[in-house]
């Protein structure tokens, strides 16, 4: 007896839907990727992005500059700490190899470190992007400028009271 497939028929092959557009799926996946920021930035690209964020609109809000610089400093401190820990780990790894202890392959450990670094960079980019969108939104700037133009000019009526 033949094994039945999902539809209960053993000899029926799945039918390809000729009317569905594969380009529609490709189109949506391409635009979906563009909507998300580049998730895999290098160390230098992340530093450059944080510097660019911090220099945006610095004349009007200096607090944003310092916020992004704090994010950058925090990231740099974490990377330095991880590098120091990894150097110690490499020494212990070498000592363990000389002693003949069973250990994981060094390339595997190195890939794990790279993955941890990339996850840290992704988190920093996500945090910086959210802060930027929250505080430097173009709608927010537009609304502030439109409120300024809609306010009546009170400098004309300054001390000029004709009836007195």
Higher pLDDT, 59 or 39: 59
In a domain, 71, yes or no: yes
CA atoms within 13 A on the CB side of 70: 8
Report pLDDT for 139: 61
Report pLDDT for 122: 94
Report pLDDT for 84: 96
CB 10 within 8 A of CB 3: yes
In a domain, 147, yes or no: no
Say if residue 129's pLDDT is above 60. yes
pLDDT tier for residue 11 given thresholds of 50, 70 and 90? low
Q: Domain total for the chain?
A: 1
| Of residues 80, 78, 57, 60, the one with CA closest to residue 127 | 78
In a domain, 128, yes or no: yes
pLDDT tens-digit readout, 48-78: 988 888 887 777 778 888 999 999 999 999 9
Report pLDDT for 59: 76
In a domain, 155, yes or no: no
pLDDT tens-digit readout, 87-96: 999 999 999 9
Q: What is the C-alpha separation between 87 and 129, in angstroms, rounded?
A: 32
- Domain with 128, as residue range(s), is 43-132
CB 72 within 8 A of CB 64: no
Q: What is the C-alpha separation between 54 and 50, in angstroms, rounded?
A: 6
In a domain, 114, yes or no: yes
Say if residue 137's pLDDT is above 80. no
In a domain, 161, yes or no: no
* pTM check: above 0.75: no
């Amino acid at each position: 007896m033949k094994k039945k497939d999902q539809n209960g028929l053993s000899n029926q092959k799945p039918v390809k839907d000729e009317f569905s557009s594969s380009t529609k799926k490709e189109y949506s996946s391409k635009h979906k990727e563009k909507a998300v920021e580049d998730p895999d930035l290098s160390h230098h690209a992340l530093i450059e992005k944080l510097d660019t964020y911090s220099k945006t609109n610095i004349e009007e809000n200096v607090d944003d500059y310092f916020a992004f610089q704090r994010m950058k400093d925090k990231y740099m401190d974490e990377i330095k700490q991880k590098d120091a820990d990894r150097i110690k780990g490499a020494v212990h790894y070498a000592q363990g190899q000389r002693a003949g202890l069973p250990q994981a392959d060094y390339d595997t450990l190195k890939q794990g470190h790279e993955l941890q670094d990339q996850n840290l960079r992704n988190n920093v980019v996500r945090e910086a992007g959210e802060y930027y969108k929250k505080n430097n939104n173009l709608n927010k700037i537009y609304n502030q400028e439109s409120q300024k133009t809609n306010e009546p000019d009170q400098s004309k009526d300054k001390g000029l009271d004709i009836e007195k």
